[in-house]
Every structure is written in structure tokens, then in C-alpha cells.
Structure 1
């Protein structure tokens, strides 16, 4: 398997190498063209200088002097009249005759290039006009062998090749360190995800980067933390459900064996049958709650929303629960203003409030007080259930809505329940698009607050 550092290195090298080739080609072409242009300009300037001298003294001595000077330079000069007759030359005439014949009769004052084929020709050449008394009387041809230009370009090529080799070498070094620097955190993340896939969530990734790789490392660390929490929660869930199922089944099996194997009086038989009936009901409630939670997890739990007048709705709940509070010698106070409406499923909303009020009865002492209060704030409606029971420890508050979570770790059965009631309440509230929060202090009491959108802010519809 090819390592990611090698892949990154190859990709970076190809990209940078392609850019270097393009830049070197562009720079080489520009430099060569510039140097060639300088050679032509220099040759043209030299010819114009000779032309200026000859225009002042256009005679045999001056012509000879000019040709003599050029014979000692790396350039050559040929001076002709307007008909192309050579008056003076520092080079053999047959070698340049073709260039002379190619010259136009109408030559601009600054001169012009006669032959610029430096790649294949032996010479490059320019021509400058000699004007006497406002009339062109002769021409000054300047020649330079292309061998010197080829030598110049060869030197440039050598410099470029050497520079290119150094650039490629430095590029390789930079890419090696760069690819390893980029690949190292990716390799660590790959190793971390491999550990996660094997169920090991004890990973440690560096958190000193403020870029996308740092964000990815944080995301992987958070994923490991969440998966570890889910693993622990799943184990707790399995342990809890095993306990909750085993307990009623043990009661049912044990008392059924007693009834089956012993000769009991009618009174004892009825007592044991009642226990079996109670445990069967408890088991049935547990299974029903588990099925409800499973449906919520699959998003197949149907919520039939409609406008609910909370005044009538809360009044009916008060009538249903008042006897239970009265039996435990507790006060039950309801506060609900007129004209408050929400969009909700009445059956599920009743289930939510029933669960909260049932908890208030279970965990409050005789003589306690529970308040069910409704209020509206702008477009939101708040429903609060507040009691003055024994309260919830601060360390348990973040988990009180989790499935099977119990503040009483001893799992006593005196208070009943399956440990799923508040979890179902949370899921039902969220399914309505609402929020649930809880505040509690030990020895003072607990307050659950549900917040829903008012009926005037949601259209009547059915949500599944």
C-alpha cells in the first residue's frame, strides 16, 4: 500500500515541477529574445554611428578608416552606393552579397534589419542610409556572425540547466519535509480511527493546530468520546434492561412455583396471584415503554398535532390527578391563564404531563405541594411542574433524562417505575419541536419546564 506521504510528495512534485518548467521556459524565451534584441540594437547603433561619420566625410579615406576599425572588431561593415556597388568592406564580398541584394531602396533614417535569421544563417545584418544634401547616396551594412549568438545562448542554457537542477533538488527536499509534515497528523488520525474501529476509544491527538487538520483532529477526538459514551450507555442500558426484565420474571416464576407446588389457602393463593398480576403488569409497561422508545429512535413515532386550548386541557388533568394527590395528603395547585393555545398531540401531551406529575407524587413527602403552571412568552408557551420533594443531586442532573438512569442507584422497588419515564418525556417533547429543562436542589424540590410553540405560530398539520 502506497503511503500517503509518498502520494502527497508525488502530487506536490508534479505540480511544482510543472510550474518550474513553465516558468523556466518562459524566462528562458524572454531572456533569449531580450539578448537577441540587444544584439540587433547594438549592431544597428554601431551602423548608425558609422553612418553619421560618413555623412560628414563621405570620401575614400573615411571609408577605409571605418572598414579598418571594423576589421579589428567582432562585427563587419560594408559600405555601398545606392546601386549596391561596394565602396569598402571588412569582410569578403561574396559572403555578404546576398544580404546586400536583399536591402530595400527606401530605408528609414534609423536603419532597419536586413537579416534576422540567427538560428540558421551565418550572419545577422542591418543597414543604415547615408544621406547627403537630403538625398540617400549610400548604405552602411553591419554584419555579425551568428556563431557568437549561438555561443551566448549556449552559455545561457548551461546556466539554466544548472539552475534547474538546483531548483529540482531543493524542490525535492522541500516536498519531502512538506509531505511528511502534512502526512504525519493524517497518519496519526488514521491510526486513531483504526483504534476506534476496533473498539478502543482511548485515543490522543495533538490539539495545537488552528487549521482544517486541527478541526479534523478535534472531530475525531469528539467522535471517540461520543462513541465511548454510547458504548458505556449501551452497556448500562443492557444491564438495566436485563435487571428490569429479570426482576418481574423472577417474581412471576417464583410465586407461580409456590402456587403450583404447595397446598395453599385461598387467602395466600389470592395474595400470590395478585403479586403475579402486578409483576405481569409491570413487565407489560416496561415492554410498552421500550417499544415506544424504539419507534422514536426510528422516527416512526406518529405525532398528530392539533390546536389545544390549555385551559380546558389542564383542567381535565387536574380532575384526574387530584384524587392521587389527596390520597397522599399533598396539595396540587394549577395555574393556567385563559386563551392559551398550543399545537400538540393531546394524547402525547397528556402522557408527558402525567409522567411528570407521577414523579412529583412518588418523590415528594406527605404534606408536600406540587404546582402545574402555564404561561406564555411572546410566541412560546411554557408548562412547568414544580414540587418541593427531596430534589435531585447536582451531579445527577445532566443524566436524569437518560434511559434507565436512576438517582437511587440501589434500584429499590418501593417507588416502582421502569426508569424510562423521563426518557420518554424528553423524546416526546423533542418530537413536538419543544424543549425540556430541569432545575433541582436537594431538600428543596425539582422543577421541570417544557417550552412549546404557540398555536398562532404553527399551521395545523400532522407530523410523523
Structure 2
């Protein structure tokens, strides 16, 4: 190696002083393994297409786009780091596969019900007829939620989300979320959802729709990962600087090493669906970003096998206090 540029040092983390004057195969771990795949032009000018190859550097792997030009006294290699691009491409591929699966399932149900309803040779009683229509309706709502999550995630990425400020009552918002979740679970075993909140919450100022979306996602996530016979608890309390809502479940729990990764885009604790838990992997990402846009945060406390608690903290102002406006309730 006769020259090692600052850019090469930044990409690899290897200093020029440690490399210049040494044989490349000895100084650069993994260089010898990829050398045969690097295109080398006979003279300067339009170069051959760069090769994208992995470069092993100890316990690290870099994906580089590399090509070379032959000179009388050696070869000049030029390369750039594509590691992040490769990771993003892999993430996109996984997302496309996940969304395709999530869309295919409700579409198959809708198609099957519609075909049954259309069959002229089958007489359906009124109960079966209504049940098939109900399945179509539920699966259409599921499709709407999936597409809505994808579009919302795109808005969040583009920083195009607009936060509104309006007066709302927290008790009503939480009750609506619980009722909506129970309605979506009518075809399955209903999981008890208990709600506790003080009587003096009053009306707050904030974006009720965004808060509702966060809470829906957190409760839906708790339902997905709750075992049969499990229980979900929603606890609401006023804090000195705003509002705190905690959603607790008795589900699978999250390994400590994954507790920050779960808020990443497309990330799922069970990506191979070995536990039968689906989803696009956007729910917690949307929760985190919506909270961030409202100057709040979402955090998690969990122990594997013992359930999880997701906490939403928002700096909401009090609109006015009305005596007797708050409620304490329990919904099963």
C-alpha cells in the first residue's frame, strides 16, 4: 500500500500510518478474499462497472462499491461505503414482504366471503349471511389500518405532520379506545382491559387524534402479545408537567437487548411469526414519532416472560378544571 486517503481511513477505521508500506493482503483483513471480484480497467477513462463486495475487517463487515485502474507501477483502487444502503435495502425488502403478507391475509378472507355470497348453488341462512358480511367489514377495516400506518409513517419521515391543539377530555378518549378495541375483538376471545384514572383530570389542550392513535397502537400491541387469559391495564395520571398513560400487559415480554430496537421502523420482536404475532412493524415507531412531534416520549419497561409496560408522557396544558368532570372506570 503506497497511499491511503483520509476518506479510506474514515470508511474503514484504519489509519494510514498502520497500512502504508505493508502488503495489502496482510494489512487489510479480508482484502485478499474479494480481490478477484474487483474490476480493474487497463487505463484511465470510463471505468468498468463497480463491484459491490463485502470486506471483512475483524469482527466487522463493510459492503463497498469498488473498482480499480491499472498503472505501470500498480493499481489505484477507489471505493465507497455502501453498508448503510445495503442495510436499508434489506429493511425495505423485509418491509415489502411483511406488508404483502399482512395485505394478503385480509384480502384472502374478503375474497373467500365474497365468493361464498355469490354462489348461486348455495343457500345461506340469515345468520351465516350476516357473519360473512361482518368478516368482510372487519377485514376492510384491517386493510384501512395497515394502509393508514404506512402513509402515516411516510408523513412522519417527511416531517409533514401537523399537530393540532384542541380541548379534550382524557376520560372520554381512553373509554373510546377501549370500546374500539373490544369491538375489534368480538370475533375472538375478549381480553379484559381495566382502566384506572383519577377524578380530577379535567380537560386538557393537545392533539386528541394523535394521542388516540398512540393509545390505540399501544393497546393493540398489548393485545397481540397477551396470552390466553391475560389482562391489560391502562393507568392514567396527571404529572407535574403534563399527562402520563401507562399500558401494561401480561404477555411475552421483551428481551433487554431489544427494548430500544422495538421503536425502530419495521422492527418486530417475532419477525418469523413463530408465535403467531403479525403486524407491519410500524406501530411502535409511529407511537414514538407521534409523541416526539408533541414534545413527549414513549418508553418501555419489560422483563422477558413477565409482560411489558409502555409509558406515554406528554407535556399537556390544562384547559380548565371542572369539578366532577373526571371519571374512574373499569372495562372488561
TM-score bracket, normalised by the shorter chain, equals: 0.5 to 0.7
1:263 maps to what in 2? 121
1:146 maps to what in 2? none
Among 144, 167, 172, the alignment partner of 1:316 is: 172
2:229 maps to what in 1? 366
List runs of 5+ in structure 1 lacking aligned partners: 1-179, 207-219, 457-464
2:33 maps to what in 1? none
TM-score (norm 1): 0.45
* CA distance in 1 between partners of 2:92 and 2:230 (Å): 39
TM-score (norm 2): 0.60
* Cα root mean square deviation, aligned: 4.2
* CA distance in 2 between partners of 1:259 and 1:349 (Å): 39
Among 280, 295, 301, the alignment partner of 2:140 is: 280
For the pair 1:430 / 2:292, whether they are aligned, the reply is yes
Given that residues 230 and 250 in structure 2 are in contact (C-alpha distance below 8 angstroms), is that contact kept between their aligned partners in structure 1? no
Q: For 1:222-233, list aligned pairs within 5 A.
A: 224-233=82-91
Q: CA deviation at 1:348?
A: 0.8
For the pair 1:242 / 2:100, whether they are aligned, the reply is yes
* CA distance in 1 between partners of 2:93 and 2:215 (Å): 30
Cα distance change, pair 205–239 in 1 and its aligned pair in 2 (3 A): same
Q: For 1:50-449, list aligned pairs within 5 A.
A: 184-186=4-6, 188=8, 200=52, 202-203=54-55, 224-260=82-118, 263-267=121-125, 270-306=130-166, 312-313=169-170, 315-320=171-176, 324=182, 328=190, 330=192, 332-336=194-198, 338=200, 344-364=206-226, 365-366=228-229, 368-377=231-240, 379=241, 381-411=243-273, 418-449=280-311
Q: CA deviation at 1:435?
A: 1.9
Given that residues 329 and 366 in structure 1 are in contact (C-alpha distance below 8 angstroms), is that contact kept between their aligned partners in structure 2? yes
Cα distance change, pair 285–204 in 1 and its aligned pair in 2 (3 A): same
List runs of 5+ in structure 2 lacking aligned partners: 13-37, 40-48, 59-78, 319-332
Given that residues 230 and 249 in structure 2 are in contact (C-alpha distance below 8 angstroms), is that contact kept between their aligned partners in structure 1? no
Query: How many aligned residue pairs are there?
Result: 255
Q: CA deviation at 1:345?
A: 0.8
Which is worse superposed, 233-242 or 294-303? 294-303
* CA distance in 2 between partners of 1:382 and 1:199 (Å): 52
* CA distance in 2 between partners of 1:230 and 1:342 (Å): 40
2:35 maps to what in 1? none
Which is worse superposed, 350-359 or 327-336? 327-336
- Where 1:406 maps in the other structure, the secondary structure is coil
Given that residues 381 and 454 in structure 1 are in contact (C-alpha distance below 8 angstroms), is that contact kept between their aligned partners in structure 2? yes
Which is worse superposed, 433-442 or 268-277? 268-277
